[in-house]
Amino acid sequence: MSVGGGGLLKYMGKRAVDRIAVVLSSLTLQFLLLRVLPYYVLGIDPSFFFLNPNLTEAQRELIRKQFGLDESLASQFVKYVLSLFTGNMGFSFYTRRPVFSELMERLPNTVLLLGTATVLTIIIGLIVGIIAVSKRGTRFDASIIGSSIFVSAFPHFYVGLLLLLIFGFYLRWFPIAGTISRPPPRDPVIYVADLLRHMALPLITLLITGIGGFALFIRNLFLTQLGEDYVLTARAKGLNEREVMVRHVLRNVLAPVINILALEFPGIISGAVIVETVFSWYGVGRWLFQAATQFDYPVVQAVLFIQVALTVVSLYIADLIIALIDPRVRLR
Amino acid sequence: MASITATRIEAVKSFLSELKLHKTGLLGLGVLILYVFVAIFAPWISPVGPNETGLADSYAYPSWFSIFPGYENLPRNIILKLSYEDWHVLHQSNGLEYVEENDLSKINVKSGNVSTVKDLLLEYTFNYTFNPPKRFSGKIPFKVEINHALGSYVRIRCSIVTPKGRVYEVYDSLPIANNLTRLETPATYDARDISLKLKLGFSPHDYLGEKIFNLKGVYKLRLYISIFSVKGDGAVNVWLGVNEFRIYGMLYGILGTDNLGCDLFSNLIYGTRVSLMVGILASVISVSIGLVVGVISGYKGRIVDQILMFFTDTLLFTPILPLLIAISVFVGKNLYLEIALIALFSWMVFARNTRAYVMSIRDSMFVESARAIGAPDIYIIFRHILPQLTPIIYINLVMRVPGAILLEATLSFLNLGDPSVPSWGRMLYNARYAGAFFRFMWWWIIPPGLAITFLALAFVLLGNALDAILNPRLQVRR
């Protein structure tokens, strides 16, 4: 056990170094693409878009100085990385408010929408995928595969638009935009009901676009495992299909499932850009899109950083769990 | 050499005969061929160019709507082109000469001993039998030549007479006292002109077409030319070109028009080109990058592998869509840059797969024996490794396309695409933000999305069939 534990520590330590290096290089890439490329290669000055043209040169300089845009690129980069890691995300070019407080305004909405969508997608996708694989070769299985492939060919925003057209405009069952009615209802029960009514269409969009792929992933995962020799052995031993699934197959598919769950998790925070934009959801994803089109880089970089950092952290946790349950990984 | 070609033809033949066994793959191939056909022959299939505006009224219905009750009387496009012989002369003053000259109508007045006003009143009668239109417009090309002492002038007016006899003067040139050529850039009037609405006594919010053409019956278009010539030597000449009058229909083409009066069907047809081009080019570029990185990384191993894979992982960890959006804001307006961008952010998975595959080949006996007899790396890569990779290259070339198509559509839908190129994503952007939803114009919203979906689906089906044929290793035991 002690040997195994030492192996685990060493493995996780090495992993941590790798992951942190990737975060740093991803940040560098983002900085290069968002700050160096437009300004130094294409000659687009982000401050041009938010500075009032009537200001004098001195006033402009002052504002640029406030945002730290007058410093050299290298020092901007160092400051940017350091401040991100200390939790200071700077100020939005447009609203002049701290990025963090603006983020906090939108975060609950995004967590609500994406959290519900992710959890439901995983549960329904798992169930559908497992049913499909246990009934492999039947009509049910074929229809799951067919509809998953069909849905995967739909652009996500188009699914949203169609739902919007049918349920928002023709049938008028759901509101066509927004997160809550204006003014918000006072009664908490009605408030929640109103929020859910606004959430319905984006949620359905996320589920339609999410479940098919996930179910197909689960199905194929199980299917490749069922083709392995150990399954043949287990069956030859006389275990019934259920025992084969639970005792042997499930253990082996756990690692990739945990990995994919870890990749889903950061989306709960960073939101769904397309769906939130289509339905005018007051969330992080739409904010990110608006900020990107307005050259509001503090916001863009902060949200991207959160996403990268969360991805790395959740994958790291996934690595840890996998290493704990599967000794082969850490001994490799 | 001939034998190599022959074996290649044999390989293609056997591949096609295997493809025949995959019904869905054949379907995908068929749909794809249809799209390619449409893309190539787009100028012949679509009746007009995709960017031509004002073909009919904004938000026109598709013309086949006229078979449904309630839509049969929607205003049609009426375009009148009136030249010399079309006009009926209602009044012509003595001493005013009205003849045809080089396809133009020429009006000539020679001045005499006294200053006089001479008139010419032309009329064209037409029957209007549809519901009131929203918009009409007209063009009056003319040329005025005054060879005269100061003081002579020409005045051109145009009016519409309703069946009830009300006269609406829609155009008045006001006195023209010097030479003026407006044959190339004719004088125009338009029902959307607010000053015209006010001049005729309507509110700026009224649709002039609805007010004037509110009856079914015989309408008259009148052109009134009055020439005042001062006494003395000289002449006044006026030439009239082909006078155009049009009523903008609410029925147009196969899919109606958008908010600018562009033909939606043409946009749909031309959109095929962009999607196919983006999909295929981005796929080729991203597979090429992935192949180079994967092969080098897998074959070289060690430090080269670590550096390349570190870079690959960096890109894999970076959220692609937000970053693409942020970059597209300043470079996306160029289609080719956009393609390059899409490709640059989508090669990583293929590179990783290629690397793993190359690593497994690298250690195989035939590569080791080739190395043992002193074959250079380049030779081994091209002679032994790449041929092994051919199936997965083909499969990936096809399988990468749908992603690129969907990504391009998404970026265009966010209005980050090239605005001069008609694309399905941009059609949907226009539909969303120009009011197609509020008008329930499902014929605008549904076709572009389905076009994207079926194109992506065709590639997916074809890719799956390729996968099944070329990649027998994946045939799963059940």
Asked if B452 is an interface residue toward chain A (Cβ–Cβ < 8 A), one would say: yes
Eight-state DSSP code of residue B64: G
Query: Does the model's pTM come out above 0.90?
Result: no
Residue of B nearest to A28 (CA): B314
- Identify from A14, A42, A114, A158 which residue to disrupt to test chain B contact, counting B C-beta atoms within 10 A and taking the largest count: A158
Indicate whether B15 and B127 sit together in one domain: no
Domain boundary (B203, B221, B247) is at B247
- Which pLDDT score is estimated for B319? 83
Kindly state whether residue B66 falls inside one of the protein's structural domains.
Answer: no
Asked if B443 is an interface residue toward chain A (Cβ–Cβ < 8 A), one would say: no
Kindly state whether residue B193 falls inside one of the protein's structural domains.
Answer: yes
Strand partners, B121: B91, B224
Task: Please give the ipTM for the structure prediction.
Answer: 0.87
Kindly state whether residue A305 falls inside one of the protein's structural domains.
Answer: no
Number of H helices, E strands in chain A: 15, 0
Average pLDDT, chain A: 83
Q: Whole-angstrom Cα distance, residue B246 to residue B78?
A: 5
Q: Lay out the sheet containing B153-161: strands in order across.
A: B88-92, B116-128, B217-229, B153-161, B167-172
Query: Does residue A246 have a pLDDT over 80?
Result: no
Residue of A nearest to B478 (CA): A227
Task: Please say whether the dihedral angle defined by the alpha carbons of residues B466, A157, B329 and A88, taken in this order, is positive or negative.
Answer: negative
Give the residue carrying structure tokens 């959290």. A115
Per-10-residue mean pLDDT of chain B, 478 residues long, equals 66 76 85 93 88 86 88 88 88 86 86 83 91 91 82 89 90 88 90 90 88 90 89 84 90 88 90 91 94 89 87 86 83 83 89 88 82 83 83 88 91 86 90 88 91 92 85 50
Which residues in chain B have Cβ-Cβ distances shorter than 8 Å to A308? Answer: 317-319
Q: Whole-angstrom Cα distance, residue B274 to residue B271?
A: 6
Kindly state whether residue A314 falls inside one of the protein's structural domains.
Answer: no
Asked if A223 is an interface residue toward chain B (Cβ–Cβ < 8 A), one would say: yes
Q: Cβ atoms within 10 A of the Cβ of B149, count?
A: 13
Cβ–Cβ gap A153/B478 under 8 Å: no
Residue of A nearest to B408 (CA): A155
Closest-CA distance, A280 to chain B, in angstroms, reads 12
Q: Whole-angstrom Cα distance, residue A97 to residue B125?
A: 67
Kindly state whether residue A29 falls inside one of the protein's structural domains.
Answer: no
Cβ–Cβ gap A304/B323 under 8 Å: yes
Q: How many domains does chain B have?
A: 2
Give the residue carrying structure tokens 């015989």. B218
Buried b (16+ CB within 10 A) or exposed e, B212-223: bbeeeeebbbbb
Counted across chains A and B, CB pairs separated by less than 8 A come out at 138
Cβ–Cβ gap B322/A293 under 8 Å: no
Residue of A nearest to B474 (CA): A224
Domain hosting residue A146, numbered range: 104-295
Output phi, psi for B342, to 5 deg.
Answer: -60, -45
Q: Which of B200, B360, B247, B263 is nearest to B62 (CA)?
A: B263
Domain hosting residue B291, numbered range: 2-52+263-474
Indicate whether B211 and B323 sit together in one domain: no
Closest-CA distance, B276 to chain A, in angstroms, reads 15
Eight-state DSSP code of residue B121: E
Q: Select from B329, B425, B431 the Cβ nearest to the Cβ of A292.
A: B329
Asked if B428 is an interface residue toward chain A (Cβ–Cβ < 8 A), one would say: yes
At A109, the amino acid letter reads N
Cβ–Cβ gap A170/B440 under 8 Å: yes
Query: Does residue A46 have a pLDDT over 70?
Result: no
Kindly state whether residue B207 falls inside one of the protein's structural domains.
Answer: yes
- Identify from B328, B414, B433, B475 which residue to disrupt to test chain A contact, counting A C-beta atoms within 10 A and taking the largest count: B414
Asked if B457 is an interface residue toward chain A (Cβ–Cβ < 8 A), one would say: yes
Closest-CA distance, A97 to chain B, in angstroms, reads 21
Q: Whole-angstrom Cα distance, residue B444 to residue A130?
A: 39
CATH number of the domain enclosing B441: 1.10.3720.10
Kindly state whether residue A311 falls inside one of the protein's structural domains.
Answer: no
Kindly state whether residue B70 falls inside one of the protein's structural domains.
Answer: no
Indicate whether B35 and B107 sit together in one domain: no
Indicate whether B451 and B311 sit together in one domain: yes
| A202 vs A179 pLDDT, higher one | A202
CATH number of the domain enclosing B88: 2.60.120
B405 and B339 Cβ atoms separated by less than 8 Å: no
Kindly state whether residue B272 falls inside one of the protein's structural domains.
Answer: yes
Kindly state whether residue A289 falls inside one of the protein's structural domains.
Answer: yes
B107 and B97 Cβ atoms separated by less than 8 Å: yes
- Which pLDDT score is estimated for A331? 58
Cβ–Cβ gap B478/A137 under 8 Å: yes
* Burial tier of B113 (Cβ tally within 10 Å: 0-12, 13-18, 19+): exposed
- Which pLDDT score is estimated for A47? 65
Alpha-carbon distance values, B255 to A167, B63, B262 (Å): 23, 8, 10
Indicate whether B40 and B105 sit together in one domain: no
CATH number of the domain enclosing A235: 1.10.3720.10
Residue of A nearest to B458 (CA): A153
For residue B248, the SS3 value is: coil
Closest-CA distance, A102 to chain B, in angstroms, reads 18
Q: Please spell the DSSP secondary structure of B165-211, one letter per residue.
A: --EEEEEE---B-S-EEEEEEEEEEETT-HHHHHHTT--TTS-HHHH
For residue A329, the SS3 value is: helix
Indicate whether B106 and B28 sit together in one domain: no
Start-end of H helices in A153-187? 156-163
In this structure, what token pair is assigned to residue A219? 């199905």
Q: How far is CA A200 from the centre of its chain?
A: 19
Asked if B323 is an interface residue toward chain A (Cβ–Cβ < 8 A), one would say: yes
Indicate whether B411 and B306 sit together in one domain: yes
Q: What percent of chain A has pLDDT over 90?
A: 12
Asked if B472 is an interface residue toward chain A (Cβ–Cβ < 8 A), one would say: no
Q: Whole-angstrom Cα distance, residue B106 to residue B91?
A: 16
Asked if A226 is an interface residue toward chain B (Cβ–Cβ < 8 A), one would say: yes
Q: Quote the radius of gyration of chain B (alpha carbons, Å).
A: 34
In this structure, what token pair is assigned to residue B386? 């790449």
Kindly state whether residue A50 falls inside one of the protein's structural domains.
Answer: no
Indicate whether B277 and B331 sit together in one domain: yes
Kindly state whether residue A260 falls inside one of the protein's structural domains.
Answer: yes
Split at pLDDT 50, 70, 90, the class of A181 is: confident
- Which pLDDT score is estimated for A49? 65
Q: Cβ atoms within 10 A of the Cβ of B453, count?
A: 23
**pLDDT tens digit sequence for A251-309:** 788 888 888 888 888 888 877 888 999 999 998 989 999 888 888 888 888 888 888 88
B38 and B424 Cβ atoms separated by less than 8 Å: no
Q: How far is CA B379 from the centre of its chain?
A: 48
Q: How does strand B136-147 pair with strand B235-240?
A: antiparallel
Indicate whether B31 and B80 sit together in one domain: no
At A97, the amino acid letter reads R
At B458, the amino acid letter reads A
Kindly state whether residue A255 falls inside one of the protein's structural domains.
Answer: yes
Element (H, E) at B14: helix B2-19
Side-chain-facing half-sphere of A139: CA atoms under 13 Å: 0
Q: Cβ atoms within 10 A of the Cβ of B143, count?
A: 17
Which residues in chain B have Cβ-Cβ distances shorter than 8 Å to A25? Answer: 310-311, 314
Cβ–Cβ gap B453/A153 under 8 Å: yes
Indicate whether B218 and B296 sit together in one domain: no
In this structure, what token pair is assigned to residue B171? 């155009």
Q: Which of B468, B474, B316, B309 is nearest to B398 (CA)?
A: B468
Residue of A nearest to B341 (CA): A33
Task: Please say whether the dihedral angle defined by the alpha carbons of residues A172, A178, A179 and A185, taken in this order, is positive or negative.
Answer: negative
Indicate whether B278 and B239 sit together in one domain: no
Q: Which of B431, B110, B375 is nearest to B256 (CA)?
A: B431
Asked if B311 is an interface residue toward chain A (Cβ–Cβ < 8 A), one would say: yes
| B95 vs A127 pLDDT, higher one | A127
Kindly state whether residue B383 falls inside one of the protein's structural domains.
Answer: yes
Q: How many domains does chain A have?
A: 1
- Which pLDDT score is estimated for B477? 39
B430 and B436 Cβ atoms separated by less than 8 Å: yes
Q: Whole-angstrom Cα distance, residue A201 to residue A209?
A: 12
Indicate whether B43 and B100 sit together in one domain: no
Asked if B48 is an interface residue toward chain A (Cβ–Cβ < 8 A), one would say: no
